[in-house]
Structure 1
Amino acid sequence: MVMNRRIIEHFLIVLFLCLMNYDGVRGKPPIKTIKTEYGDIFDCVDFYDQPAFHHPKLKSHNYHPQMKPSLFMMKVVDPSKSITDTLESMKLPDGGCPVGTVPVRRFTKKDLTRHKLLPEPEDNFVANGNNFNDSKARRKKPLKGYNTAIVSTVDNPNNKFGGASMIAAIYNPRSTGQQHSACRLKLIKGKNIIQVGWRVDPTLYGDNRTRLFIHFNDGTNSCFDLLCPSFVVVSELSPFGQPFRHISDIHGEHFDWAFQIKWDQQKGNWWLFLQHMTDQYIPVGFWPKEVFDDFGNYATRVEWGGVVYSPAGVLLPPMGTGNYPIIKSALSIAYCRNIALLDDKGQYIDISNSNLPTTSTNSLLYSVADYPNYGLGSDYNHTILYGGPGEL
C-alpha cells in the first residue's frame, strides 16, 4: 500500500505541475480552461494529452478521439421513462470543452495534501496461491471503517459477465471530514475492479457535494476519476468529479441516473456509458485492457448498492437516504432500479425472477433488500433498496 500511495502521489504531483505550467504530456497548454459555479476548474486538454497516456503500457497506443465501441449496440435499460438528471445538465459552462478535447479536473496543492488522507482501497487482496482468475483466490480482508449494503451475483469463479447496468437514485448523505458515502455499480475479476456511481467524499473532492465518480483498482494501483493513468476519455461530455445539479428529496422531487459498463468483445476494453438527454446513452470512455493484469474478457462478480467509510474513532455516516429499506417504497429509500446483467457474449441474462444474494456488513446500521419483481411496471423492473442511518 505504501508503494501504491507513493506511485499515485508522484503521478498527481507531475500532473499538477503539468497543468499549472501548461505543460501537458506533449508540452501543450490546455485548449480551454473552465471554472464552474462550484469553484472547480476543468482543463480541456487535447485527446492525446490526457492522463491515461502516461501509463507505460499505453505509450504506443493507437487510440483516437473518434473511437467508439466495436459493439455500439444494445441498450441494457431504457432511461426514457425516468425522472432524471441528465448528462446535459452536467455539462460544463461556457459551452463546455471543444470537440477533440477532454475535460480534466484540475487540483490544487490543498487537494494533494488532502489526498494523502485517502483510506486504503475498500478491498484488500490476499492471494491464495497465484491464481487470481479463481474468485475464491480473491480473499477480502475486512478493513476497519468500511461498511456495505449490496446486492451481488453469486460468487462463482466460473461466472462470465460482459457488462451490467443500473439506474440509481441520486442523494446527498451527510459526510464530513474523512467520511464518505457512495452508491456504485462494481465489476470484479480477481484483483481487478472497475466501478462507477455517485459519492459524497470531502477527502477526495474537498466538499460534501454529490459527485459523479469512476474508480479503478488493479491490485497494485487504486484511484478515482483521472487521478492515475487508467481511463481513456473519448467524450467532451464526461466531467468526472462534477457535482450532480439535482439531488433527490424524499419529501419532494426525485432524480436518478443511468450507468452502464460493457465489455467490447472485439477489442477487450471495458466501456462506460452514461445517460445523455432522456432516451439514449453515450460512450464516454473506457478502461483499456492493457492496464489490467487479467481483465480483458469478462468479470466474475457484479455488485450494486451502497458503501460508507469512517476512520477509526469517527462515527459512521448515513447511507442513501439515511432510512432502512424496511418498507417497499422507492420514494423514501435509496434505490438502484432496472439492474441488468450481460453475459460474455453481450446477451441479457434473465434476472427478472431471480433473488440475488444480499450482504450488509453491519445490519444494525445499514440494510439492503432485493425485489426481482418490484411491482411498479417496467420503470421499476429488478430493483434493490438500500441504506441506513449509520451512527449519526
Structure 2
Amino acid sequence: MLKFINSASWALILAIFVYVVLTPKALVAGRTISDIVNKSIIKTIKVDNDEIIDCYDMFKQPSLNHPSLHNHTIQMRPSTYPKNIKVDNPGTLQVTQTWHKYGTCPHGTIPIRRNVEKHYYSTLLRKQRRPKIIHNKKSNILQPNGIRDNHEYAIIKVPGSFIGAQAKINLWNPTVETMIEMSVSQIWVMAGDDSDLNTIEAGWAVDPTNFGDYQTRFFIMWTSDAYQHSCINLRCPGFVQTSPDIAFGCNFTEVSTFNGDQKDATFSIHKDQNSGNWWVQLQDISLGYYPSSIFTLLSKTSDRVEFGGEIYNGRYNGRHTTTQMGNGHFPSEGGLGISSYFSHVQVINENNEAKDPEDVKTYISNPDCYDLKVDKKHTNGYGFYYGGSGYNDNCQ
C-alpha cells in the first residue's frame, strides 16, 4: 500500500507528523499554550464575552521568567508599610470584577486574564513619548514646548525623592472614539528622563487596543528604558503577583454616574524598605510587586510622582478626537458628581512617611480639550478635579 504514495503525499505526512508529534502545544480558545504553561494552570474560569481567567500556580507564574528573577524567592506580603497612610477608608467601592461571579482562584494561585485576540491595532502605533515641558515659574504651571504629541495630559507633578504614592481615583467609563485611542487615569512613580526613564504606573483605563473592548479596566505598567520596551499587566516577565483575588486587565463592575453615586478606589505604590520591592495595592489588597532588580534608576528611589489623566489623540477625520478624559466634563462645570476627581493624594518620602504633596506643579497639555483644577478646600485631603470632552468649538 505504501509504495503507491507519491513524494508529495510523503511530504504532507511528514509535515503533519512534525506538527502533531514534535510540537508540544495545545490550542485553547484560539490561543496557543505550551505544555509547560498548561501544567502551571491549576484552574480555568470562563467568563462572559469569551473572557477567560487562568489560575496559575503562584510559584510557576510567567513573571518569574525574567532574567533577573531566576531562583527568586517570592515575598508573600510587604514587610513594611508607609506611616500615616490613609487606610481607614480605602475607597467607596468594594472591589469586584466580572469574573468573580463565575468562580475564584484557589489559595496559592494567581489569576491571569488570557490575552484577547481582538486587537485591531498595535500598541506600537501609539508608543508613549514623554513631552518636553517648560516651567512657568510665575504661575507654577508646566507648559508644553510647542511640539505636538499625540498623548495629552491633565496632571500634577510632584518633584522630590520618594518611595511611593497613593490616591483615591474616581471611576468612570469615558467614551473612546476609536480602537487605537485610550483614556487613562493613573499614578506614575518615576525616575530619570529621556532614554533612562523608569516608571511604575497603576490606575484604570478604557483601552480597546490592549483589552479588546471599551470597559473600564484595572491596569499596571512599567518601563526601564523610556517605553522602548514596556509591559502592561502580566504580558511579560517582571511583576510578581501574590494575591488570588484581583486580575489585572479585568473590568470594574461599578463606575460612577453623572450627578449620582460616585465610585472611587484607592491605588497605591510603595517600596518595601527591607526587600526593596515596589508593592502595588488596590484598596487594602496587596497584589504583588515589581522587584527593584528589573529597574535601573528605580532600583533606588523615585525623583517625582505624577497623578492625573492621559488620552491618546489619533486625530481621525482631520480633527481632535472626541475621546473623553475622566468622565468627559471639565472642572469648570462643577465639582463632586459632575467632573472626575483624585482625592487623598499622598506621596511617601524616604522616611517611609505618607504626606500631602508639596511644590506641586500642574501640567495641562491642551486646556481647551482637557483641564485640571486643584481643590483648595482639601475636604478629602489633597485633591483635584480634572477631565474634558476632547473635540469642541475650542478644541479642534
> Percent identity, aligned pairs only?
30
Could you say if the C-alpha distance between residues 338 and 328 of structure 1 is closer, same or farther in structure 2, counting changes exceeding 3 Å?
farther
Is residue 188 of structure 2 the alignment partner of residue 186 of structure 1?
Answer: yes
What corresponds to 2:126 in structure 1?
A: 119
Deviation at 1:120, TM superposition (A): 0.6
Q: Indicate which of 35, 42, 66 corresponds to 1:23.
A: 35
| Superposition RMSD in Å | 2.8
Which one has a bigger Cα radius of gyration?
A: 2
Could you say if the C-alpha distance between residues 197 and 46 of structure 1 is closer, same or farther in structure 2, counting changes exceeding 3 Å?
same
Is residue 63 of structure 2 the alignment partner of residue 52 of structure 1?
Answer: yes
What corresponds to 1:387 in structure 2?
A: 387
Is residue 375 of structure 2 the alignment partner of residue 371 of structure 1?
Answer: yes
CA distance in 1, matches of 2:223, 2:242: 21
What corresponds to 1:269 in structure 2?
A: 277
Secondary structure, aligned partner of 1:326: helix
- Where does structure 2 lack aligned partners over 5 or more consecutive residues? 1-24, 133-143
What corresponds to 1:144 in structure 2?
A: 149
Q: State TM-score, norm by structure 1.
A: 0.81
Deviation at 1:17, TM superposition (A): 7.5
Deviation at 1:28, TM superposition (A): 1.3
Secondary structure, aligned partner of 2:341: strand
Cα displacement string for residues 177-201 of structure 1 (whole angstroms, at most 9, x for unaligned residues): 2110010011101110011000001
CA distance in 2, matches of 1:116, 1:357: 29
CA distance in 2, matches of 1:214, 1:359: 22
Secondary structure, aligned partner of 1:203: helix
Deviation at 1:204, TM superposition (A): 0.8
Secondary structure, aligned partner of 1:381: coil
What corresponds to 2:164 in structure 1?
A: 163
Say whether the 8 Å CA contact 1:169–1:257 is kept in structure 2: yes
Q: Indicate which of 28, 31, 34 corresponds to 2:45.
A: 34
The AA in structure 1 aligned to 2:183 is: S
Deviation at 1:62, TM superposition (A): 1.6
CA distance in 2, matches of 1:91, 1:74: 34
How many corresponding residue pairs?
346
CA distance in 2, matches of 1:142, 1:262: 33
Deviation at 1:122, TM superposition (A): 4.1
The AA in structure 2 aligned to 1:373 is: K
The AA in structure 2 aligned to 1:150 is: I
Is residue 313 of structure 2 the alignment partner of residue 310 of structure 1?
Answer: yes
The AA in structure 2 aligned to 1:24 is: I
Could you say if the C-alpha distance between residues 222 and 272 of structure 1 is closer, same or farther in structure 2, counting changes exceeding 3 Å?
same
What corresponds to 2:78 in structure 1?
A: 69
Say whether the 8 Å CA contact 1:33–1:42 is kept in structure 2: yes
The AA in structure 2 aligned to 1:120 is: K
The AA in structure 1 aligned to 2:80 is: L
Could you say if the C-alpha distance between residues 94 and 177 of structure 1 is closer, same or farther in structure 2, counting changes exceeding 3 Å?
closer
Say whether the 8 Å CA contact 2:90–2:265 is kept in structure 1: no
- Where does structure 1 lack aligned partners over 5 or more consecutive residues? 1-14, 126-138, 276-280
Secondary structure, aligned partner of 1:321: coil
Secondary structure, aligned partner of 1:160: strand
Could you say if the C-alpha distance between residues 108 and 245 of structure 1 is closer, same or farther in structure 2, counting changes exceeding 3 Å?
closer
Could you say if the C-alpha distance between residues 386 and 282 of structure 1 is closer, same or farther in structure 2, counting changes exceeding 3 Å?
same
Q: State TM-score, norm by structure 2.
A: 0.80
